[in-house]
Amino acid sequence: MPHQVLEPVRPEVSPVAGRIGAVVTRVRLSGDLPERVVAELGRALLRHRVLFFRDQHHLDAAGQARFARRLGEPAACCGHGRADAWHTDGTFAERPPKAMLMRAIEVPRHGGDTVWANTAAAYEDLPAELRELADRLWVLHGHGDARAEHPLVRVHPETGERAILLGGFARSIVGLSSRADSGALIRLFQEHVTRLENTVRWRWAPGDVAVCDNRATQHRVVQDFGGRPRLLWRVAVGGDVPVPVPVDGRSGAARPPAAGG
């Protein structure tokens, strides 16, 4: 009689919105997850950009950090500017985080949702003429004393996709002397990122965990709540220096002459 083989429980991944976001069930997040499950979650993250896990009440800050450690090196969590403005975390640093993990501890009775946008889908949607322009531009990002210049379009280090790298820390287009031109271009590309078709909105409950690929998303809080505080614990996973798209057959667009460190 053949052995009865017990199928290991596999996480179930169900998309939420058409272009971004999936709820993952049948997994209890921890630092001890089998490698097979971590790899499966990693693939789902690349595909869906943000994963939502309900009822992870067993996690505390240490447990969340241990799970994050399975996704990569821990990174200093990026000082927040206005969380209610669209942003990619830490773009004012040379190496913005690769992923962010947010765990809801206390949430308002109503409101305080977070919305994520898919910056790779936003790039795909650009008309060819704008993609060509975007591929060549560099952007200065800043927050406090921190400054970094990044390509407006980065090549995703794991999927090879192109994604718009912009958001609320973007200060100016490198090499443009006119603030008005700079601002107009930033607004133009930013509006493509935040089209509702590229977004998913999450209604938090205590115990929820969201993991997002910070290399292919922007996010913001919806500031529509009062009363009960909103307490989310965030952990960052370290990322790479954003790589520009190849231009004119060369690998990587040349940094503009004015670009500093």
Interface residues toward Fe ion, by CB under 5 A: 89
Q: Which is nearer to Fe ion, 96 or 151 (CB)?
A: 96
Q: Which is nearer to Fe ion, 13 or 107 (CB)?
A: 107
Q: Render 183-217 in DSSP notation, one character per residue.
A: HHHHHHHHHHHT-GGGEEEE---TT-EEEEETTSE
Q: For residues 43-72, b (16+ Cβ closer than 10 Å) or e, as one string?
A: ebbeebbbbbbeebeebeeebbebbbebbe
**DSSP reduced 3-state for 62:** helix
- The DSSP element (H or E) to which 45 belongs, if any, is helix 35-48
Q: Which is nearer to Fe ion, 89 or 149 (CB)?
A: 89
- CA 94 from chain centre, in angstroms, equals 16
- Over its C-alpha atoms, the chain yields an Rg (Å, rounded) of 19
Least CB distance to Fe ion at residue 234 (A): 7
| Torsion sign, CA atoms 74, 80, 83, 88 | negative
Least CB distance to Fe ion at residue 220 (A): 8
Q: Which is nearer to Fe ion, 182 or 214 (CB)?
A: 214
Q: In what order do the strands lie in the sheet with 217-221?
A: 199-202, 114-118, 217-221
Q: Which is nearer to Fe ion, 89 or 208 (CB)?
A: 89
Least CB distance to Fe ion at residue 143 (A): 11
Name the closest residue to Fe ion (Cβ): 89
Distance, in Å, from the CA atom of 109 to the CA atom of 94, rounded to the nearest integer, reads 38
DSSP state of 237: E
Residue the block writes with tokens 């799970």: 67
Least CB distance to Fe ion at residue 160 (A): 25
Active-site residues: which are they? 87, 89, 219, 234
Least CB distance to Fe ion at residue 36 (A): 30
